[in-house]
Structures are given as structure tokens and as C-alpha cells.
Amino acid sequence: MKKLFWIISVMFLLQACTTVQSVYFERLQPADVNFPAQIRSVGVVNNMPPVHQDYKDVDYTSASLEGDGDIAAENLAQEVVSVDYFDQVVLYDKRIRKSAYPLEQPIPKETVDELIRLLDVDMLLSMERVNVVLKDSTMFIPELYTFVPAVEGVVTSVVRAYLKQQEKPLFTIQKMDTLCWEIVPELTFGDMVKDFSEYAASMPMQYLLPYWKEEERRYFDGGNVNMRDAGVCVREQNWEEAYRLWKELYETKKGKAKMRAAYNLAVYYELQNDFVRAKECLTTAQALASEDSLEMQLILLYQLQLEEQTKRNQRLNVQMKRFE
């Protein structure tokens, strides 16, 4: 995983009748869990119950279906590999469980120890259960500008992590989300099982490992030549020239122009991961802004965003130490 915490997108949103625009960028966010630094290799296993369902008499509007463990485990392994967080990811291609009941059952300690030894890994990530509960629904088709009959499914995904010589799992992650299928003649339950089994593998990922998330930041554009030119630079992703123009405005102007330049400089510094200077610029902007103005609202919102991101960065730095 590269130690790059943000990627700027070229998307912009013009705010009608104002001089405020939005820049969007991808930022690396921390996972909910922290793995010990010594966890370098992971084995992915299928601990889901074997399922042999007959879909002949299944009702679209009320069915509860179990997922395909082989599909779910394979896709979980692919998801973990794609993040490039561990040195090695090994997929165990055999099903662990022989019995279909109970539907969810942690792996016994002896089996965990044997699998970790066999795969030569530090930890196991296990797909424990994938389930979907279906109900009758509708789906909006933008191209037709109409609603069509559909099936809505509430998907539950359960993943556990195991370490050797431990009586209990390291942690359990259970997440729920919704999928929707348009009812068409070619739709089969087999297709639906494949779809939600694949999707279930992706559901826990942002809780397991650092992930990319799109962020939005507002900035001022207009009011004078330098500010407009800097806006063009932002759209062309020439941030250094935008910084030079904003810096010049900040040092030569007063009042609202100085305040807006200070605010924009905060955006620049944040994108450089210099949160100290970003907060200093926002403090300056706040001192220059009118109490009930749009500018003050934007400043206060941005201050909250920076504080939240500062806390997330602290967790992320811990999780990224393995790459130092």
C-alpha cells in the first residue's frame, strides 16, 4: 500500500450565484480495527455452512437464502489482496464445516491452530455466514424515468479473525446492507446467490483495513482577478500556482478578500497533510469573518471536518507504521 493519503479528483461543483466551489478528492481512511504489526500474512477460509437449497418453491417476496461460502471466501481473499496491506494472503480452498447447522459456529481452537500451521500464516480471516432476506419491492430506472418491479434483499455478512493458541476469535464483524434486483425473465435465484455472496465479501472491508473515501472541500473562487485565476489553477490541478496567488492575496489584501484567501490556504495546507497550518489559517479566517455570514458557516464546518480528520489520521498513522 502506498503511503499517499489523498488523491485529488477533477470534479467540481459550482454553487449558483455565489463564489464558492467544491473540490473532491480521495483520502485514505483508517479501519475500525488495528492489527498487531507482527501480523504479516493472512489465511482466508470458508467457515460457512454447506448449503444445498432447492429454489423451486422459493417465494421472491419472503425468502431467506444462505450464501455460497466458496464464492464469498474467494472474493474476500481478492478484496484483501487488492488493499495490499499484508505481505501474503493465502486462500484455503477447502470448506471447514461439514454440517449445515448451526448456521453460524466459530472455528474451534484446535482447527485454527492447525490451519495457521498448514497455511504458514499469522492470522485467519474467516467468512462465517452470508444471508439475505428478500422482499417485494420496486426499482427506479432513470433512463425510463419510471419504477419497475424488483426484489430487495437485506444482506448480512459475518467475518471473524483468529489467532493461534487463542480460545476465542480476535474479533467478529457483522454488517448489513441492501441489494436490489429488477425482476426480469432471466433472473434466477442462483444469480442472486452469486451476487449477494460476492457483495458480502466487500461489506466488512472498510472496518477491516484502511480504505479510500471521497471527501469534499469548499473554496472561494471569484471577487478579484487573483482569486479567479487561482480557481482556474485548482481546476487544472496546479495547486502550487493557486497557493502562490492565494498567498499574495492574503499578504496584500484586507477584510473579506484576506479572510477568503486565508480559508483557501487552509484547503491547500490540508491537501499537503499540514493540519497545523490549515488550522492556523482557519483561525485567522474566523477572526476576519462576520458573525452570521456564509463565510463564518463554512469556516465553522471546515473546522469540524479538520478536527475529525485529525483524529482519523492518528489512527491511520498507527495502522500504516508497518510500511515505515
Distance CA 241, CA 24 (A): 19
DSSP element (H, E) containing 95 = strand 88-95
135 shares a domain with 251: no
125 or 293: which leads in pLDDT = 125
Q: What is the pTM of this model?
A: 0.80
232 shares a domain with 136: no
150 shares a domain with 61: yes
Write out the residue range of the structural domain in which residue 248 sits.
6-30+219-323
How many domains does the chain contain in total?
A: 2
Q: What is the pLDDT of residues 41-85, one digit of tens each?
A: 999 999 998 877 666 667 777 788 899 999 999 999 999 999 999
177 shares a domain with 265: no
Q: Is 1 domain-assigned?
A: no
User: Looking at residue 254, which CATH number applies to its domain?
Assistant: 1.25.40.10
> What pLDDT is attached to residue 15?
40
> What pLDDT is attached to residue 187?
83
The count of other CB atoms within 10 Å of the CB of residue 187 is 15
Query: In this structure, what C-alpha cell is assigned to residue 92?
Result: 484455503
In 119-189 the beta strands, taken as DSSP E runs, fall at 123-141, 146-162, 171-182
